[in-house]
Structure 1
Amino acid sequence: MAQRTGALVFDELTDRYDIRFDLNAYYGGLHCGDCLEVFVRGKWKPTRMEYGQNWYLVGIRAEDLNGLRVRI
């Protein structure tokens, strides 16, 4: 299966992040341990979604995850 690129968005109904691929196309919600890549400093970096006091991406420093370019 080919990788798809989109943007992280927070879904307040499910209290978790999702990936928006297009106007009405979403991944379906990310869970702890889900692996993906995030585009930082001009490169794709592998990471995974985790939850502590808030949602975060392992090894990625970001105050807000909304809008980050990701692929899965």
Structure 2
Amino acid sequence: MAQKTGALIFDETADRYDIRFDIADYYGGLHCGECMDVFTGGKWKPTRIEYGDNWYLVGIRAEDLNGLRVRI
């Protein structure tokens, strides 16, 4: 399956992050441990999403995950 690129968005109704690929095309909600690549520092870096006190990407420093470019 080919990877798709989109942006992280927080879905308040589900209380979790999702990936928006297009105006009405979404991943369907991310769960702890799901792997993806995030574009940061001019390159793609592998990571996974986890939840502790809040949602975070392992190995990625970001105050806010909203809008980060990801591929999955």
Give TM-score scaled by structure 1 length. Answer: 0.99
Runs of 4+ displaced beyond 4 Å: none
Paired residues in the alignment total 72
**Secondary structure of 1:31 counterpart:** coil
**Which structure 2 segments of 5+ residues have no match?**
none
Q: 1:54 Cα deviation (Å)?
A: 0.2
TM-score (norm 2): 0.99
Identity %: 81
Corresponding residue number in structure 2 for 1:66: 66
Unaligned runs of 5+ in 1: none
Matches within 5 A, 1:11-50: 11-50=11-50
Q: Give the 3-state SS of the residue equivalent to 2:59 in structure 1.
A: coil
Q: One-letter code of the match for 1:50?
A: E
RMSD of aligned residue pairs (Cα, Å): 0.2
